[in-house]
Protein backbone atom coordinates (compact mmCIF):
# COMPACT_ATOMS: atom_id res chain seq x y z
CA UNK A 1 0.00 0.00 0.00
CA UNK A 2 1.55 3.35 -0.97
CA UNK A 3 2.33 5.88 1.76
CA UNK A 4 -0.41 8.17 0.56
CA UNK A 5 -3.15 5.51 0.57
CA UNK A 6 -6.29 6.17 2.58
CA UNK A 7 -7.52 3.98 5.41
CA UNK A 8 -10.10 1.40 4.30
CA UNK A 9 -13.82 1.85 4.65
CA UNK A 10 -14.74 0.80 8.17
CA UNK A 11 -17.60 -1.65 7.64
CA UNK A 12 -18.43 -1.49 11.36
CA UNK A 13 -19.55 2.06 10.63
CA UNK A 14 -21.33 1.66 7.30
CA UNK A 15 -24.58 -0.18 6.57
CA UNK A 16 -24.47 -3.52 4.76
CA UNK A 17 -25.19 -3.55 1.04
CA UNK A 18 -28.24 -5.75 1.50
CA UNK A 19 -30.50 -4.83 4.42
CA UNK A 20 -33.75 -6.75 3.79
CA UNK A 21 -35.98 -4.39 5.81
CA UNK A 22 -35.05 -1.68 3.29
CA UNK A 23 -36.68 -3.50 0.40
CA UNK A 24 -34.88 -1.82 -2.50
CA UNK A 25 -31.57 -3.25 -1.32
CA UNK A 26 -32.70 -6.81 -2.03
CA UNK A 27 -32.27 -6.57 -5.80
CA UNK A 28 -29.73 -3.74 -5.86
CA UNK A 29 -27.08 -4.63 -3.33
CA UNK A 30 -24.31 -6.81 -4.77
CA UNK A 31 -24.23 -10.36 -3.46
CA UNK A 32 -20.53 -11.03 -4.00
CA UNK A 33 -18.07 -9.66 -1.45
CA UNK A 34 -16.34 -6.46 -2.48
CA UNK A 35 -12.88 -7.24 -3.80
CA UNK A 36 -10.20 -5.65 -1.67
CA UNK A 37 -7.48 -4.24 -3.91
CA UNK A 38 -4.86 -1.60 -3.36
CA UNK A 39 -5.54 2.02 -4.19
CA UNK A 40 -4.16 3.18 -7.51
CA UNK A 41 -3.43 6.77 -8.49
CA UNK A 42 -7.06 7.11 -9.51
CA UNK A 43 -8.32 6.33 -6.03
CA UNK A 44 -5.69 8.49 -4.32
CA UNK A 45 -6.61 11.53 -6.40
CA UNK A 46 -9.99 13.07 -6.98
CA UNK A 47 -12.02 15.97 -8.32
CA UNK A 48 -11.67 19.40 -6.73
CA UNK A 49 -13.85 22.46 -6.78
CA UNK A 50 -12.53 25.78 -5.50
CA UNK A 51 -14.63 28.28 -3.60
CA UNK A 52 -13.86 30.71 -6.43
CA UNK A 53 -15.72 28.49 -8.89
CA UNK A 54 -18.88 28.48 -6.79
CA UNK A 55 -21.58 31.03 -6.11
CA UNK A 56 -21.72 31.70 -2.33
CA UNK A 57 -25.49 32.17 -2.66
CA UNK A 58 -25.74 28.39 -3.11
CA UNK A 59 -24.92 27.92 0.58
CA UNK A 60 -28.11 29.75 1.53
CA UNK A 61 -31.15 27.65 0.66
CA UNK A 62 -33.43 30.29 2.19
CA UNK A 63 -32.33 32.60 -0.66
CA UNK A 64 -31.12 30.59 -3.65
CA UNK A 65 -34.61 29.58 -4.76
CA UNK A 66 -36.51 32.76 -4.10
CA UNK A 67 -39.07 33.83 -6.69
CA UNK A 68 -41.53 36.08 -4.89
CA UNK A 69 -40.78 35.74 -1.21
CA UNK A 70 -39.18 33.68 1.51
CA UNK A 71 -39.51 29.90 1.75
CA UNK A 72 -41.91 28.67 4.42
CA UNK A 73 -40.71 26.68 7.39
CA UNK A 74 -38.51 26.79 10.43
CA UNK A 75 -35.22 28.46 9.46
CA UNK A 76 -32.07 26.57 10.39
CA UNK A 77 -28.32 27.09 10.27
CA UNK A 78 -26.47 23.86 9.58
CA UNK A 79 -22.73 23.89 10.18
CA UNK A 80 -19.99 21.39 10.88
CA UNK A 81 -16.45 20.38 10.16
CA UNK A 82 -15.25 17.82 7.66
CA UNK A 83 -12.32 16.00 9.24
CA UNK A 84 -10.42 12.76 8.70
CA UNK A 85 -10.14 9.91 11.17
CA UNK A 86 -7.22 11.65 12.85
CA UNK A 87 -9.35 14.71 13.41
CA UNK A 88 -7.44 16.76 10.87
CA UNK A 89 -9.59 19.22 8.94
CA UNK A 90 -10.38 18.58 5.27
CA UNK A 91 -10.22 22.08 3.78
CA UNK A 92 -11.38 23.13 0.35
CA UNK A 93 -13.67 20.20 -0.30
CA UNK A 94 -17.10 20.27 -1.90
CA UNK A 95 -20.17 19.65 0.27
CA UNK A 96 -23.50 19.34 -1.54
CA UNK A 97 -26.88 19.04 0.18
CA UNK A 98 -30.45 18.40 -0.93
CA UNK A 99 -33.66 18.01 1.00
CA UNK A 100 -37.45 18.14 1.02
CA UNK A 101 -39.18 21.41 1.81
CA UNK A 102 -40.86 22.12 5.14
CA UNK A 103 -43.96 20.22 3.98
CA UNK A 104 -41.95 17.09 3.14
CA UNK A 105 -41.98 17.53 -0.65
CA UNK A 106 -38.98 17.43 -2.98
CA UNK A 107 -38.62 19.60 -6.07
CA UNK A 108 -37.81 16.38 -7.98
CA UNK A 109 -40.53 15.74 -10.55
CA UNK A 110 -40.67 12.10 -9.51
CA UNK A 111 -41.86 12.98 -5.99
CA UNK A 112 -45.59 12.18 -5.96
CA UNK A 113 -46.19 12.97 -2.28
CA UNK A 114 -49.39 15.00 -2.01
CA UNK A 115 -47.83 17.91 -0.14
CA UNK A 116 -47.32 21.44 -1.48
CA UNK A 117 -44.26 22.60 -3.36
CA UNK A 118 -42.80 25.86 -2.12
CA UNK A 119 -42.25 28.28 -5.02
CA UNK A 120 -39.38 29.88 -3.12
CA UNK A 121 -37.45 26.76 -2.17
CA UNK A 122 -35.44 24.33 -4.28
CA UNK A 123 -33.79 22.45 -1.45
CA UNK A 124 -30.41 22.10 -3.18
CA UNK A 125 -27.16 23.84 -2.27
CA UNK A 126 -23.42 23.51 -2.13
CA UNK A 127 -20.38 25.01 -0.45
CA UNK A 128 -16.66 24.41 -0.08
CA UNK A 129 -15.11 23.86 3.35
CA UNK A 130 -12.85 26.61 4.73
CA UNK A 131 -9.31 26.19 6.00
CA UNK A 132 -10.62 24.61 9.20
CA UNK A 133 -12.78 22.13 7.29
CA UNK A 134 -15.94 24.03 8.18
CA UNK A 135 -19.04 24.34 6.04
CA UNK A 136 -22.18 26.35 6.81
CA UNK A 137 -25.60 26.26 5.15
CA UNK A 138 -28.81 28.11 5.84
CA UNK A 139 -32.04 26.34 5.07
CA UNK A 140 -35.41 25.41 6.50
CA UNK A 141 -36.05 22.24 8.44
CA UNK A 142 -37.25 19.53 6.03
CA UNK A 143 -40.57 17.81 6.68
CA UNK A 144 -41.12 14.08 7.08
CA UNK A 145 -42.74 12.28 4.15
CA UNK A 146 -44.31 8.90 3.43
CA UNK A 147 -42.68 6.31 1.21
CA UNK A 148 -43.62 2.92 -0.12
CA UNK A 149 -41.23 0.60 1.69
CA UNK A 150 -43.90 -0.87 3.98
CA UNK A 151 -47.31 0.01 5.42
CA UNK A 152 -47.37 3.50 6.93
CA UNK A 153 -43.67 4.07 6.25
CA UNK A 154 -42.41 7.63 6.85
CA UNK A 155 -38.91 8.95 6.41
CA UNK A 156 -37.62 10.94 9.37
CA UNK A 157 -36.64 14.57 8.78
CA UNK A 158 -33.32 14.44 6.98
CA UNK A 159 -30.93 16.32 4.74
CA UNK A 160 -28.89 14.46 2.11
CA UNK A 161 -25.18 15.31 2.29
CA UNK A 162 -22.52 14.57 -0.35
CA UNK A 163 -18.82 15.14 0.35
CA UNK A 164 -15.95 14.62 -2.10
CA UNK A 165 -13.03 14.73 0.32
CA UNK A 166 -9.41 14.78 -0.84
CA UNK A 167 -9.62 11.74 -3.12
CA UNK A 168 -11.99 9.34 -4.81
CA UNK A 169 -11.36 6.96 -1.91
CA UNK A 170 -12.88 9.42 0.57
CA UNK A 171 -16.14 9.94 -1.32
CA UNK A 172 -19.15 9.92 1.00
CA UNK A 173 -22.88 10.35 0.53
CA UNK A 174 -24.93 10.26 3.68
CA UNK A 175 -28.06 11.62 5.35
CA UNK A 176 -28.17 13.90 8.36
CA UNK A 177 -31.03 13.43 10.80
CA UNK A 178 -32.42 15.65 13.56
CA UNK A 179 -32.20 14.91 17.30
CA UNK A 180 -35.28 13.55 19.03
CA UNK A 181 -37.08 12.47 15.85
CA UNK A 182 -39.58 9.74 16.82
CA UNK A 183 -39.47 8.31 13.28
CA UNK A 184 -35.82 7.27 13.57
CA UNK A 185 -36.64 4.06 15.43
CA UNK A 186 -39.00 3.07 12.60
CA UNK A 187 -36.78 3.95 9.62
CA UNK A 188 -35.14 0.96 7.91
CA UNK A 189 -32.54 3.16 6.20
CA UNK A 190 -31.33 4.68 9.47
CA UNK A 191 -31.66 1.32 11.23
CA UNK A 192 -29.58 -0.45 8.56
CA UNK A 193 -26.62 1.41 10.03
CA UNK A 194 -24.71 -0.50 12.75
CA UNK A 195 -26.23 0.57 16.07
CA UNK A 196 -23.01 1.97 17.47
CA UNK A 197 -22.59 4.23 14.45
CA UNK A 198 -26.16 5.58 14.25
CA UNK A 199 -25.58 8.54 16.62
CA UNK A 200 -23.01 9.86 14.11
CA UNK A 201 -25.86 10.45 11.64
CA UNK A 202 -27.76 12.74 14.01
CA UNK A 203 -26.98 16.44 14.14
CA UNK A 204 -26.65 18.17 17.48
CA UNK A 205 -28.84 21.12 18.36
CA UNK A 206 -26.64 24.07 19.38
CA UNK A 207 -27.78 27.22 21.09
CA UNK A 208 -24.36 28.70 20.27
CA UNK A 209 -24.98 28.25 16.55
CA UNK A 210 -28.59 29.39 16.86
CA UNK A 211 -28.98 32.95 15.61
CA UNK A 212 -31.16 34.95 18.00
CA UNK A 213 -34.47 35.84 16.42
CA UNK A 214 -33.51 34.24 13.09
CA UNK A 215 -32.67 30.54 12.88
CA UNK A 216 -32.11 27.42 14.99
CA UNK A 217 -28.59 26.02 14.89
CA UNK A 218 -27.52 22.44 14.22
CA UNK A 219 -24.01 20.98 14.12
CA UNK A 220 -23.15 17.98 11.93
CA UNK A 221 -19.49 17.01 11.82
CA UNK A 222 -18.42 14.59 9.10
CA UNK A 223 -15.54 12.14 9.47
CA UNK A 224 -13.99 10.86 6.26
CA UNK A 225 -11.72 7.90 5.76
CA UNK A 226 -8.11 7.85 6.67
CA UNK A 227 -5.82 10.76 6.47
CA UNK A 228 -2.15 10.61 5.85
CA UNK A 229 0.21 10.13 8.73
CA UNK A 230 2.34 13.19 9.34
CA UNK A 231 5.90 12.96 10.69
CA UNK A 232 5.94 12.47 14.46
CA UNK A 233 2.54 10.89 14.66
CA UNK A 234 2.34 7.32 15.80
Compute φ and ψ for 58, nearest 5 degrees.
-70, -5
> Which of 71-79, 120-128, 130-138, 207-215 is the region at the interface with another protein (rule: CB under 8 A)?
120-128
75-84 and 134-140: which strand pairing? antiparallel
Per-residue x/- mask for another protein, residues 152 to 191, rule CB under 8 A?
A: --------x-x-----xx-xxxxx-------------xx-
Question: Which residues are known to be catalytic?
Answer: 106, 145, 155, 158, 160
- When binding is defined by CB under 8 A, the residue of 20, 51, 150, 197 that contacts another protein is 197
Spatial strand order of the sheet with 158-163 comes to 124-128, 94-99, 158-163, 172-177
Q: How far is the CB of 208 from another protein (least distance, A)?
A: 21
Q: How far is the CB of 148 from another protein (least distance, A)?
A: 10
Residue pair 127/135 in contact (Cβ under 8 Å)? The answer is yes
Q: How far is the CB of 39 from another protein (least distance, A)?
A: 5
Would you call 200 helix, strand, or coil by DSSP?
helix
Calculate the CA 80 to chain-centre distance.
11
**Cα 194 to Cα 160: distance, rounded to the nearest angstrom:** 19
Within 49-108, the residues that bind another protein by CB under 8 A are 49-50, 53-55, 58, 83-87, 92, 94, 96-98, 106-108
31 or 230: whose CB is closer to another protein?
A: 31
Amino acid sequence: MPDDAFAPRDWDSHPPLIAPDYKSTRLRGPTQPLLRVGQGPGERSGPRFDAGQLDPLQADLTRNGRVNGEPLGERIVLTGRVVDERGHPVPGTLVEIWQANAAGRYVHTGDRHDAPLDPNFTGAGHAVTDGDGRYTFRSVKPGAYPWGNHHNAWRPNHIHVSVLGPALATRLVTQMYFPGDPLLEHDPIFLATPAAARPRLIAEFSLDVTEPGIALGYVFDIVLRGGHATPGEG
